[in-house]
Amino acid sequence: MTGSITKRPDQFSETAIDDEIVVMSLASGTFFSLAGTGRSIWQLLDRHSDRPVLLAELGREYGRDESAIATEFDEFVASLEQAGLVACS
């Protein structure tokens, strides 16, 4: 995973329902329901784009070591990128 991750707001619509954030790909119409850590990462992407900063913030929020969550983080971001919701560089 590289260093910068940014949302692609022209590629999705989002809304909050109960404890979930629902993101719809405008290209495919597919829904993504984000809860828990997925929701946290999505919200962190509104404030940060640097992977190390994102990992540090997420680790702080969940009281986990960054190295312990890096793999899960990268897999989630990869799924967002595959859906066209974020751009990684």
- Measured from the CB atom, the residue of 22 and 70 that comes closer to other proteins is 22
Contact with other proteins (CB under 8 A) among 3, 4, 6, 13? 13
Burial class (CB in 10 A: 0-12, 13-18, 19+), 63: exposed
- Distance of alpha carbon 39 from alpha carbon 50, whole angstroms: 17
Choosing from 15, 67, 82, 89, the residue that interacts with other proteins (CB under 8 A) is 15
| Interacting span for other proteins (CB under 8 A) from 13-21, 54-62, 64-72, 78-86 | 13-21
